């Protein structure tokens, strides 16, 4: 297979619409596991939280894995979405490279976004965030993964409500909540 000379053809298109919920996925370069311990994940977590505050975006759900992060966010001013991602990725790269004495190393590849335009789409993506550590084999139960907001959702909405949302809004490659929630 021949690839087009214009590599930009492989970049996903971004749609910017104000006052919407967005699902964001940002992957590391070649899927490398740059964020493979708590100290490194904390760098990324702080970059995300500081960027949310700066851009006045509200995060409804998040998960950080070794080679990517996923967010469900409420975006008021969508024209700033690329700058928001650039701030997260730039700040986390800078601090990770300082930590590992690898200045100038490229960490992030690109990001994908999708507008969540229905309750079904919204809750399916929140559930996907929560289930992602189980899907990738980090933990057997969602509550055991430290780098997601799953336990915050349990505290905020109650275990029964979260369980019912998994039943009402199932995800692809879904493992039964009774197997992964407890």
What are the residue boundaries of the structural domains of the chain, listed by start? 15-117, 118-182
Burial class (CB in 10 A: 0-12, 13-18, 19+), 32: middle
Q: How many helices (H) and strands (E) are present in the chain, helices listed first?
A: 6, 4
For residue 155, what pLDDT is reported?
Answer: 97
Q: Which residues contact 174 (CB under 8 A, 6 or more apart)?
A: 127, 131, 166
pLDDT of residue 118: 95
Which pLDDT score, from 0 to 100, does residue 3 have? 39
Q: Model-level pTM? A: 0.88
pLDDT at position 110, please?
86
DSSP per-residue string spanning 152-163? HHHHHH-HHHHH
What are the 10-residue block averages of pLDDT along the chain, 182 residues in total? 46 81 96 98 98 97 98 95 97 97 94 93 96 94 97 96 93 57 54
Residue 25 confidence (pLDDT): 95
15-117: CATH architecture: 2-Layer Sandwich (3.30)
């Amino acid at each position: 297979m021949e690839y087009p000379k214009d590599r930009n053809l492989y970049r996903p298109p971004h749609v910017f619409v104000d006052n919407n919920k967005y699902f964001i996925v940002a992957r590391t370069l070649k899927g490398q596991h740059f964020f493979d311990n708590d100290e490194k994940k904390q760098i990324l977590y702080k970059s995300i939280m500081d960027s949310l505050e700066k851009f006045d975006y509200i995060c409804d759900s998040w998960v950080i894995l070794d080679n990517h992060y996923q967010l469900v966010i409420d975006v008021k001013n969508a024209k700033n979405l690329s700058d928001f991602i650039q701030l997260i990725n730039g700040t986390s790269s800078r601090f990770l490279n300082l930590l590992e004495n690898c200045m100038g190393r490229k960490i992030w590849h690109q990001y994908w976004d999708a507008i969540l335009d229905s309750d079904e789409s919204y809750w399916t993506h929140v559930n996907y965030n929560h289930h992602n550590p189980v899907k990738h084999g980090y933990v057997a139960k969602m509550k055991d993964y430290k780098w997601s907001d799953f336990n915050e959702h349990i505290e905020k909405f109650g275990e029964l409500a979260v369980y019912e949302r998994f039943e009402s809004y199932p995800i692809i490659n879904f493992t039964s909540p009774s197997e992964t929630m407890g």
